[in-house]
Amino acid sequence: MKRSCFLLLSWIAIYRATAGAEEPDLRSFLKEHCVSCHGAEKQKGKVRLDQLDLLHPTAPDRALLERVGEQLALQEMPPEDKPQPKRAAVEEMIAAIENLLALRGERISSAHEKLQRPDYGNYVDHDTLFTEPPVRKASTPGRIWRLNVDSWIAKTQDWTHTPALFRDNRNNAKPVSFPYQGPDHAFLDYANIHWFDKSTTEMLLLETEQVARAFMQRRWDPLKKNAGGAQERTIALSFNVITGRAATPEELASLMRLRDRAAKENPAEEADQLVVQAMLLRPEALFRSEFGEGEPDRFGRKLLSAHDLAIALGFAVNVAGPDDALLAALQKGNAHDAAYLASVLRPYLRTPAMRDRLLRFAQEYFEYPHAAEVFKDAKIHDYQPVRLVEDADEFVLRILDEDRDVLRQWLTSTNYHVRGMFNYHGTKIAHIRSDNGFKDYHGNYNLTEIEAGKEPHWVDMPADERAGLLTHPAWLLAFSDNQKNQAIQRGRWVTTKLLGGIVPDAPVEVDARLPDDPALTLREKMQVTRAEACVSCHKKMDPTGLPFEQFDLFGKYRTEENNRPVVTTGMLWGREVANPIEYVRTLADSKKVHQVFLRHVFRFFLGRNESADDAPTLIDMEKAYWSSQGSLKETVLTLLTSDSFLYRTP
């Protein structure tokens, strides 16, 4: 008992010293923003906060404290229709709760974890990210980052000199040991969500065996010849091929021990193969390592080593990773001099590999390739989604190649690529209709067969009907289903990907059905989302998705729905927009929309959410974008030479 009292008093002393000075403000925060709904009179959600005493070390229930912290961190409380506290006050409140939990050896775990997730990127305050901070101290937390599946495929093909390795045309089947298991609507390749677990490791054992076999077939003998037939030297050369560096004596000795053990009960060739497989399974061959080296600066940051920086940059500009020239250039010059780095990187921005990377960014950002996965009953709807996605790719690439005012062009250009009415089988062409019974490819664009033509070509679409990707049939199809448009999901996309808004996950028990009545338009069916339980989230999605009702569930422009004039109004920033064309042009004119876009560029290339410390990087990216007349490549170059990219913190 005495011991408990002593601990309690000590704890209070510590707490007073650290956070106690702010306690009265926190109490008034609760009183001002929380207690009216969670107090003596009302306890919404069975939560009562008027008795929550932050000064007392043991009284507040841990779960309650954590919940308060999480609700504040995720901006779910106070509700939107209530007076909002200043951001700084919220941060203070969160910090105090964290302090309290930390002193008890705990933290706001769920909020912390969620804010790192790819689908929680928008939770960081937008204005903070574009406001110059008192000091510039951007950096990325030190990390290991699992190679993405395409990088690993490219690596294995390179290591084994086997370009056909893992080339599998079945549904784009790829090695299963590198699955993506992340949330919807977010970039796939985040550093903090992928690793190898029991299942994937078992797959990895099988797939690396396949790689090792290919290595033995193509590489082993030439390497052995180079090594003059010496066993250890051959292993050392193989190590160099796979890791890109020389093995240390300890590493080599360890591999030789493995080889000796394996050779006792296996033929020599199998023992060698096992050693190669072991190299392939080392963390170094599966993860990128980014921790920085040397003395930390006054903010605790360390610069990436020239080698690690070359790898990070190499993967940024090419899914296959750095080439020898990049590695050499960074070893030779001052890798941490932004001007030198830019001069080294600039040529890479014009490579086909970088073109592919930027296309991949656009595909994951706009999500239009999902059109190919949308089910539509072929008996009722005959269309060609893959062809439409290819058209969208060409649209994206052409604007990337011009590299001027990229986002505005993506959002407003009326110059569409139309693949034409022929299929291509090698050198032969066949009419699309005879090949797959396709009826209405041209109709998706409101073109006649003659206008759609036979060959791929570019078509200037009517400016009052189409404007950019959000009115492109591929994007529209990606957000549709077998029976209707998915106006809510379209609105969610605009709200989160262009407006930087937050749309919480739907509650688990939500009954998301719309009425079936065929006499109603989708807009009329969506009236159900105005119910009290739904409206707070749906008001963030429905008005920003409904303008696209201008198009039917195949992306075809229409003027009528259910034999009535189609209604295409929506709301943007509290004002009504009349139709999708006005809508997307207004979006394209917005500075904030461009900023939100740049936040997504940041996430794609850094593989993480932006934090408040990254503000200088985003500010510089924005400057680069506008000063280069909207060049995405110049903007990415600024990102790749920023402190966020070059520095790591423990």
Interface residues with other proteins (CB under 8 A) are 142-144, 146, 170-171, 173, 176, 179, 181-184, 192-193, 195-203, 205, 254-255, 257-258, 261-262, 265-266, 270, 274, 277-278, 281-284, 287, 291, 373, 375, 377-379, 482, 505, 508-509, 511-513, 650
| Minimal distance, residue 481 CB to other proteins, in Å | 9
Of the pair 199, 217, the CB lying nearest other proteins is at 199
| Minimal distance, residue 201 CB to other proteins, in Å | 4
| Minimal distance, residue 294 CB to other proteins, in Å | 15
| Minimal distance, residue 379 CB to other proteins, in Å | 7
The sign of the dihedral angle between the CA atoms of 361, 364, 367, 368 is positive
Of the pair 513, 564, the CB lying nearest other proteins is at 513
Of the pair 11, 287, the CB lying nearest other proteins is at 287
CA-nearest of 201, 212, 197 to 242 is 212
Residue written as tokens 């990219």?
A: 645
| Minimal distance, residue 510 CB to other proteins, in Å | 8
| Minimal distance, residue 199 CB to other proteins, in Å | 4
| Minimal distance, residue 170 CB to other proteins, in Å | 4
Contact partners, residue 33, CB within 8 Å, separation at least 6: 77, 78, 82, 83, 85
Query: What is the rounded distance in angstroms from the CA atom of residue 108 to the CA atom of residue 53?
Result: 17
| Minimal distance, residue 177 CB to other proteins, in Å | 9
Burial class (CB in 10 A: 0-12, 13-18, 19+), 255: buried
Helix, strand or coil, per DSSP, at residue 360? helix
Structure tokens at 506: 């739907």
Burial class (CB in 10 A: 0-12, 13-18, 19+), 578: exposed
Of the pair 118, 468, the CB lying nearest other proteins is at 118
Helix, strand or coil, per DSSP, at residue 564? strand
Structure tokens at 507: 């509650």
Of the pair 324, 505, the CB lying nearest other proteins is at 505
Structure tokens at 328: 């050499």
Query: What is the rounded distance in angstroms from the CA atom of residue 392 to the CA atom of residue 328?
Result: 37
| Minimal distance, residue 198 CB to other proteins, in Å | 5
| Minimal distance, residue 141 CB to other proteins, in Å | 8
Of the pair 55, 274, the CB lying nearest other proteins is at 274
455 neighbors 487 (Cβ within 8 angstroms): no
Of the pair 154, 280, the CB lying nearest other proteins is at 280
Of the pair 288, 523, the CB lying nearest other proteins is at 288
Of the pair 284, 297, the CB lying nearest other proteins is at 284
Angle at the Cα of 387 from the Cα atoms of 381 and 391, rounded to 5 degrees: 125
Structure tokens at 392: 């969208």
Of the pair 266, 627, the CB lying nearest other proteins is at 266
CA 210 to chain centre: 30
The number of helices, as runs of H, and strands, as runs of E, in the chain is: 32, 13
Of the pair 15, 368, the CB lying nearest other proteins is at 368
Of the pair 60, 175, the CB lying nearest other proteins is at 175
| Minimal distance, residue 312 CB to other proteins, in Å | 15
Of the pair 163, 375, the CB lying nearest other proteins is at 375
Query: What is the rounded distance in angstroms from the CA atom of residue 475 to the CA atom of residue 470?
Result: 6
| Minimal distance, residue 238 CB to other proteins, in Å | 14
DSSP code string of 12-73: HHHHHHHTGGGHHHHHHHHHHHTTTTBSSS-BGGG---TT--TT-SSSS-HHHHHHHHHHHH
DSSP code string of 190-255: -TTS----HHHHHHHHHHHHHHHHHHIIIIIHHHHHHTTT-HHHHHHHHHHHHHSSPPPHHHHHHH
Strand partners, 570: 577
The interaxial angle of helices 87-103 and 23-33, nearest 10 deg, is: 120
Give me the count of residues in the chain. Answer: 650
| Minimal distance, residue 57 CB to other proteins, in Å | 26
Of the pair 257, 591, the CB lying nearest other proteins is at 257
| Minimal distance, residue 288 CB to other proteins, in Å | 12
Query: What is the rounded distance in angstroms from the CA atom of residue 194 to the CA atom of residue 147?
Result: 9
